[in-house]
Amino acid sequence: MSWKEAAEPVLTRLPAVERPTKHVPFKRKLGWTAGVLVLYFFLTNVGIYGLGQNSDIFGQFRTILAGAQGSILQVGIGPIVTASIVLQLLGGADLLGLNTEENPRDQAIYQGLQKLLVIVMTTLTALPMVFAGFLQPSTQIANSLGISTSALGWIMFAQIFVGGMLILYMDEIISKWGVGSGIGLFIIAGVSQRLIGGLFAWSALGAGYVGFFPRWYGILTGDVEMGPVLTRTGLFDLFLGPGELLALITTLLIFGVVVYAESVRVEIPLSHARVKGARGRFPVKLIYASVLPMILVRALQANVQFLGRILNAQWAGMPAWVGDYAGTEGGFAEPTGGLFYYLAPIYSPQDWMWWLGETAAAPWKIMLRVGVDLTFMIVGGAVFAIFWVETTDMGPRATARQIQNSGMQIPGFRQSPGVTEKVLERYIPQVTVIGGALVGILAVMANMLGTIGQVSGTGLLLTVSITYKLYEEIAEEQMMEMHPMMRQMFGD
């Protein structure tokens, strides 16, 4: 008996959101999407009952994990992304033996296996958070309930686990009944919150100007002090200090570059095999795999740093070459040396501009860390882009079959999936690698220069690209509503 036959009864019976049996009207899709988004914002404000002192073990990765520190959505989309990484690696090595392109049974097993892995990853992520000291139970609440802090810890774990399952099924609802994907929507929501706060937030207690525009109001009125503009101190204050002009320029530049890159494409002409005059084009975009594979790369880095913080909290005699951490506050402690320091991404200009005097690391150590981060993002971006294309039916073979099924063909070539596949192989693999590497470079550069609201470069890239694709998908849905015949052509 193969593993598929043994696991199928379990994997195919896991709770799932029912897929619609007929076309879902566009207005209803928008309704489901808006409803899930409201629920997401509500859940990010539902705190973990029994929580005392806490520290964010994910740190700077929080913006792309789409959760909220101290809420029941503590783990965010981390378990879903980690499960996707594991499955993509296993599928890429052909260790699963599943034909997800043509076999509906294998597709059901794959989806069930992914869901089971998400459950496992949620458990493995939540347990260390609670029982390794990062989310400490409140002694006062435990005493009031008449239970031990350990028992209260299990109650907190149950809340985090339920939050992880809610994220999983909200993502499934969006994917089947809404517009876009839940993961992308949650990332947009979290990053947009921070961007708006970074631009317009004003201290309610009168303790100072927080957002970019309120801070500049304070600069112009003289409430915020800045050095003379033509001096080193003045330039620092203008670009990296209260003025934050470098962050604004970087944010606008990333917006412009991503929108431009999304519009750069190679268009392969198509013609209908039976209907004369019916022509079209298949676009192979520069960022063909989108920037979503960057989630996988950054999530892998987040898991590495997650492991480092756990070791720092639990391993009293950890050698300095493994990781030397500053501070003793669990998740807030940052590596200042050792292996985990070099594997940590660059988060801000202060992390690598040693001449500013805000980092004690030697210049060669900083440059080595930048080199490791850049290499990891370029290579990882290209590799995960390839995996993403192959596992989401965007590769040459799957695309050629889709073109064949739609009745289209490439003019001047025989109408055959094999012939179309060979033509597509001239473009898709190369563009996939180039696009993945380009996104990796942009993510590192955005982090190095800083962004408004301290949004990570990857988070900003994801938000701009996902929003652009969401706009395209909404436009396509509206077109199909206006022209029902197009739904038949695209098989909707």
Q: pLDDT tens across 390-410, in order?
A: 777 788 888 888 888 777 778
Residue 209: its pLDDT value, please? 62
Cα–Cα distance measured from residue 487 to residue 492, given in angstroms and rounded to the nearest whole number: 5
Tokens representing 78 are 């981390």
Q: How confident is the model at residue 484 (pLDDT cuts 50, 70, 90)?
A: low
Percent of the chain at pLDDT > 70 equals 89
Using the predicted structure, report yes or no on whether residue 490 has a pLDDT greater than 60. no
Contact between 118 and 83 (Cβ < 8 Å): yes
Residue 48 and residue 357: Cα distance in Å, rounded?
39
* Residue bearing tokens 């084009």: 281
Among 165, 159, 160, 167, which residue's Cα sits nearest to residue 36?
Answer: 167
Q: Which of 48-52, 438-442, 479-483 has the lowest mean pLDDT?
A: 479-483
Q: What is the CA radius of gyration of the chain?
A: 25
Check residue 480 and give its pLDDT. Answer: 66
Pick 60 or 382 by higher pLDDT. Answer: 382
- Is the confidence at residue 230, as pLDDT, over 60? yes
Cα distances (Å, whole numbers) of residue 305 to 102, 176, 190, 342: 38, 33, 21, 11
- Which pLDDT value is given to residue 277? 60
pLDDT tens digits along 73-108: 988 888 888 888 788 777 666 667 777 666 777 777
Q: Are 88 and 384 in contact (CB under 8 A)?
A: yes
Annotate 110-152 with DSSP letters as a single string. HHHHHHHHHHHHHHHHHHHHHHTTSEEEPHHHHHHHT--HHHH
Q: Is the pLDDT of residue 468 over 80?
A: yes
Q: What is the mean pLDDT of residues 59-63?
A: 68
Q: What is the pLDDT of residues 113-155, one digit of tens each?
A: 889 999 999 999 899 888 877 788 899 999 999 999 999 999 9
**pLDDT confidence of residue 205:** 44
What is the reported pLDDT for 466?
A: 84
Per residue in 266-311, pLDDT (tens digit) is 888 887 766 666 677 888 888 888 777 888 888 888 888 888 888 8
Tokens of 268: 């392969």
pTM of the entire predicted model? 0.79
Residue 340 main-chain phi, psi, to 5 deg: -70, -20
Q: How confident is the model at residue 328, as a pLDDT?
A: 47
> What is residue 7's predicted lDDT score, i.e. its pLDDT?
77
- What is the structure's pLDDT at 123? 94
| Mean per-residue pLDDT over the chain, rounded | 82
Band (482; pLDDT cuts 50, 70, 90): low
pLDDT of 488 higher than 70: no
Greater confidence, 64 or 389? 389
The residue among 465, 462, 467, 459 whose CA lies nearest residue 194 is 459
pLDDT for res 489: 47
For the residues of 145-205, what is the DSSP string, one character each?
A: HT--HHHHHHHHHHHHHHHHHHHHHHHHHHHHHSSS-HHHHHHHHHHHHHHHHHHH-B-TT
- Predicted confidence at residue 32, as pLDDT, reads 92
How far apart CA 27 and CA 178 sit, in angstroms, is: 10
Average pLDDT of the residues in 165-176: 92
* Lowest mean per-residue pLDDT among 189-203, 261-275, 435-449: 261-275
pLDDT at 100 (0 to 100): 65
**Given a cut of 80, is residue 383 above it in pLDDT?**
yes
Q: Tell me the pLDDT band of 56, cut-offs 50, 70 and 90.
A: low
Q: Which of 20-34, 202-216, 446-460 has the lowest mean pLDDT?
A: 202-216
